[in-house]
Amino acid sequence: MSEPLLEQLIEALRVLPGVGPKSAQRMAYHVLERERDGGRQLAAALSAAVERVGHCARCRDFSEADTCATCASGARDAHLLCAVESPADRLAIEQATGYRGLYFVLQGRLSPLDGIGPRELGLDRLSARLAEGGVQELIIATNPTVEGEATAHYLAQLARQHGVRPSRLAHGLPLGGELEYVDRGTLSHAFGSRAEMP
């Protein structure tokens, strides 16, 4: 192959997660062979999103406007605030649960070794928001990883400082999972946190 534009496209496609050299090549060929219009639209959508999608000033989720639609909506319960690590986590909760409160998107987790501290996660803004007084419960939905747990502890302290009740998503066996195949940490936690049956 010696067509620079084609090579550049294949190389550029590898910015997408999970796309290696072989699938990048297949994607480039597919678009050029059969989907030139779709390719044009993708280029425009990508360019527009990259340039114009910023972050909501209140919750730090992706937003085109200063304040995202969720934060601007009067229909959400402002007493509940749910802290998540990423916009994808927020979307997962929104799609899977009936939660009608508001969100705060950390855009990361505490990780001092990578230079990610409270400042990078916008915790000054979260602190100011908790100080406003409207929030009654901070639902902490960081990932159950070491860094996610550390972040959860930090957030819980912050909530208590402002008289807000912190809560954490339950850990345990996944629904439909088989005990035999669950990892040790989860099993040990689920065993230790067993609850009396009603």
Residues lying near its own copies in the complex (CB under 8 A): 1-6, 8-9, 11-13, 15-18, 23, 25-33, 35-36, 38-53, 62-64, 68-70, 86-88, 91, 94, 107
- Going by C-alpha positions, the residue among 155, 96, 90 that lies closest to residue 129 is 155
Nearer Cβ to its own copies (122/156): 122
Shortest Å distance, C-beta 84 to its own copies:
12
Shortest Å distance, C-beta 63 to its own copies:
6
CA 68/CA 104 separation, integer angstroms: 11
Nearer Cβ to its own copies (31/152): 31
Nearer Cβ to its own copies (49/179): 49
Nearer Cβ to its own copies (73/193): 73
Q: Looking at the DSSP assignment, which residues form a beta bridge with residue 81?
A: 102, 138
Shortest Å distance, C-beta 66 to its own copies:
13
Nearer Cβ to its own copies (58/156): 58
> Greatest CA separation found in the chain?
70
- Going by C-alpha positions, the residue among 170, 173, 167, 168 that lies closest to residue 185 is 173
CA 81/CA 134 separation, integer angstroms: 10
Shortest Å distance, C-beta 35 to its own copies:
5
Pairing of strands 54-55, 62-63: antiparallel
Shortest Å distance, C-beta 11 to its own copies:
8
Shortest Å distance, C-beta 177 to its own copies:
20
Nearer Cβ to its own copies (20/192): 20
